[in-house]
Structure 1
Amino acid sequence: MSRILIACLAGFFGLLAYLAVVLWAGDHVQQWHWALQVPFYLAAGFAWVFPVRSLMFWAARRPR
């Protein structure tokens, strides 16, 4: 199986799991004061970028 296919599958299912966790946590965060909600949603909005970035670089790397 190629790296790109593995990265696509891992990225898809990883982001799906991440989305489920953030949506679950978001239900609890909705009860907080808005000043506490903003940092949560900012962090949740950017946290997925770093693992996806690493996955993309791994997939694009040339095999030895």
Structure 2
Amino acid sequence: MVILRHCLVLFLYFDVSFMIWVLLGALGAFIAQDFALSTVEKGMIVAIPILSGFFFGLCSVYSPIE
């Protein structure tokens, strides 16, 4: 039961980070124009939600389960 709950939380976190990634992808041109971002900064804004979901997944996979 603990593993099922663990997988559900991991899936939900990755799903939310993917939703944020999609929103930033759609709004990226407007955000970049408002804040005068360079191409590297635009890439970082789009990459951070997915990378954080990936790193959280790695941390949760290798953490001890009670």
Matched residue, 2:20: 18
Q: Aligned with 2:64: secondary structure?
A: coil
Q: Distance in 2 between matches of 1:4 and 1:18?
A: 20
Unaligned stretches of 5+ residues in structure 1: none
Q: Aligned with 1:62: secondary structure?
A: coil
Matched residue, 1:55: 57
Cα deviation for residue 53 of structure 1 reads 0.4
Matched residue, 1:42: 43
Q: Distance in 1 between matches of 2:11 and 2:52?
A: 15
Matched residue, 2:9: 6
TM-score (norm 1): 0.55
The higher-RCO structure (CA 8 Å, 6+ apart) is 1
Q: Give identity over the alignment, percent.
A: 10
For the aligned residue pairs, the C-alpha RMSD in angstroms reads 2.8
2:28 maps to amino acid: G
TM-score (norm 2): 0.54
Cα deviation for residue 58 of structure 1 reads 1.5
